[in-house]
Amino acid sequence: MRVNFVLSEVATGLRRNLTMTVAMILTTAISLGLMGVGLLIGGPGGMIPKMKEIYYDKVQVSIFLTDDVTDEQRDAIRAELDSSTEVKNYIYETKEEAYERFQQQFSQQPELVENTPPDALPESFRVELVNPERYPVIAEAFPSGENGVDQVRDEGEFLDRLFSLLNGARNATLAVAVVQALAALLLISNTIQLAAFNRRNETNIMRLVGASRWYTQLPFILEAAVAGLIGGLLAVGGLVLTKILFVDKTLAGPIKAGIITGVDWGQIATTGAIITAAGVGLAAVASYVTLRLYVRL
């Protein structure tokens, strides 16, 4: 097989249908970019699994006390926590300690810290349960509005809502990526059909002189694969820019405070390799199927 001839045919085909080729590349890049974002957010080793490991290992029930709580009420709460078999561990946090922790967590957002008065955060007992799902037991033992208890809040319930929201965002991103991918595949199919029709005389002559069907199809398959490769590389470039401009800058404060997890370059490299390979593979398969079903070469 003459490699130079095949490569020259690929280059000619890409130039001949330049407008459709550009549209195919951009559509592929968008779909692969969205797929990459979805993988970085919720894929194995992504932001959501890492955040779950961090937060669910530290799930606590917070018993917030009223401003007028008495020493007797505070001691009664402590005694009941000491005697409860549901409690694995607990700490008592004063207003001053709560404000100090707040300052540390939001040190990268000085405006928020400055606008929050020192006495805005209540004193509390932060309780770690033997079984985090047994939160209702603690809520019943310390009813809100009684004996110095302002409210009892389960962090696990908040985390469930938070991660449901994040999972929804990931699923929406992947759904849009699938729609874009279908559009890209249809565009690849139409482009290959048009390219094959425009070069039908050349391929017919090649078949008459003994060229195999595979040999005449290969340039079209490679055209689609090259377009998929370029689209994948553009998508990887988009992920790199997203990390530099959004994750590393806009989200620097929450990441440093430990509120959310960041994205490292290893994840970008792995995800980039996956989406690029997917772009090349899907484009090549789509062109091959199109040639087999709709084009006689």
Enumerate the domain spans of the chain: 3-54+160-294, 59-155
Instruction: Identify whether the C-beta of residue 192 lies closer than 8 Å to the C-beta of residue 224.
Output: yes
Of 31-40, 134-143, 190-199, 228-237, the one with minimum mean pLDDT is 190-199
Mean pLDDT along residues 264-276: 92
Instruction: Give the CATH fold of the 59-155 domain.
Output: Alpha-Beta Plaits (3.30.70)
226 vs 21: CA distance, rounded Å: 10
Name 129's bridge partners: 87
- What is the model's pLDDT at position 273? 95
Token representation of residue 264:
């490292």
Per residue in 239-251, pLDDT (tens digit) is: 999 999 888 888 8
- What is the model's pLDDT at position 277? 94
215 vs 196: CA distance, rounded Å: 13
What percentage of residues in the chain have a pLDDT greater than 70?
Answer: 82
Token representation of residue 170:
């990931």
